[in-house]
Chains A and B, each alone.
Chain A
């Protein structure tokens, strides 16, 4: 059986029939996005790997209870969001806004470290990732889910346990804050990027 040609639903059915290779394929399919989302929320690679691993184990345990009324990805991302938020609460990471004087100084000095003459795709990615990393976890999660996860506002609402309208407002604000962070990082070059 060629597992990589099966749909998520078929892989779930196979996994429930005790075929662990099918679940390995599901992990392979979703691990990059799950890891990216976890990274945006937890901010460090080590924590993101821990959260991502925990999510896949939790999902495996609850797979039989997964109601296939929504997409597997929507269900999985909701696990990522709740797991990462619990992780942050447990670690007591300071999730307050970084809009304080001290951080501004720090960011400005960091921005000065990069002397980039041209803004090509890779560098653009790098700056965008830095700017997203400066956002609050919720803002970073919404941006990631909307643009990289290609989730609709309704799906994000289900994943983050919010109303769709709240997500819409939060998305507007998150984009606005992201632009501010980019301007802070790039100064004049920001115009080319945003």
Chain B
């Protein structure tokens, strides 16, 4: 069973269902004790609502912004570098390795492995393949594409910053 005080708080807070709210309103109107208790609690509630907020010290805003700025400078990897750039670089190396080794594997004359050479890696053959110009050209082409992609992203970001600053 709820006390009168609890019922009045719920009435003041507006958390009662409509029928219950009507009943309490009627009690306040009809009963002097309820009316008095309601006035007291309402006054208390208003005193709490009217309380002033505390003020931090003068330089608070500035200090927070300084903390944010210093953190942005000190912690660039977390806050400034787009993770997609890191992933892009990783992808570039992965693709390069696959391409280089794929081309290398394709150029090796596997039938040339004989019983007397099978125990050793055909170093000379590998060198000739890895040093092959077409494999290098493919890797360089992929590199140029990546650089163009990164350049485009940087220019886009700068453009966006300029627009938002204006």
Report which A residues bind B (CB closer than 8 A).
14, 17-20, 23-24, 27-28, 31-33, 35-36, 39, 45, 48-49, 52-53, 56-57, 60-61, 121, 124-125, 128-129, 143, 147-148, 153, 168, 171-172, 175-176, 179, 193-194
Contact = CB atoms under 8 A, between A and B. Distances in A.
B43 to A, nearest CB: 7
Contact of B48 (A31, A147, A153, A168): A147
Contact of B56 (A24, A35, A176, A194): A35
Contacts, number: 93
19 contacts: A17-B160, A17-B164, A18-B161, A19-B165, A23-B65, A27-B61, A27-B64, A32-B54, A32-B56, A35-B55, A36-B53, A49-B56, A52-B60, A53-B60, A53-B67, A124-B47, A128-B51, A171-B13, A193-B44
B68 A128 contact: no
B140 to A, nearest CB: 34
B69 A20 contact: yes
A35 B61 CA distance: 11
A27 B63 CA distance: 11
B56 A31 contact: yes
Contact of B6 (A27, A125, A172): A172
Return the 8 tightest CB-CB contacts between A and B, nearest first: A147-B48, A17-B164, A35-B56, A32-B53, A36-B54, A194-B44, A56-B64, A36-B53
B52 A179 contact: no
B64 A128 contact: no
Contacts of A61: 71, 79
Contacts of B57: 45, 49
A182 to B, nearest CB: 9
Nearest to A13: B164
B50 interface: yes
B74 to A, nearest CB: 12
Contacts of B26: none
Contacts of A14: 164
Contacts of A168: 15
Contact of B47 (A19, A20, A36, A128): A128
Given A23-B68, A124-B47, 10 more contacts: A28-B61, A31-B60, A31-B61, A32-B55, A32-B56, A36-B54, A48-B54, A56-B68, A125-B52, A194-B40
Contacts of B68: 20, 23, 56-57, 60
Contacts of A20: 65, 68-69
A148 B51 contact: yes
Contact of A19 (B40, B50, B164): B164
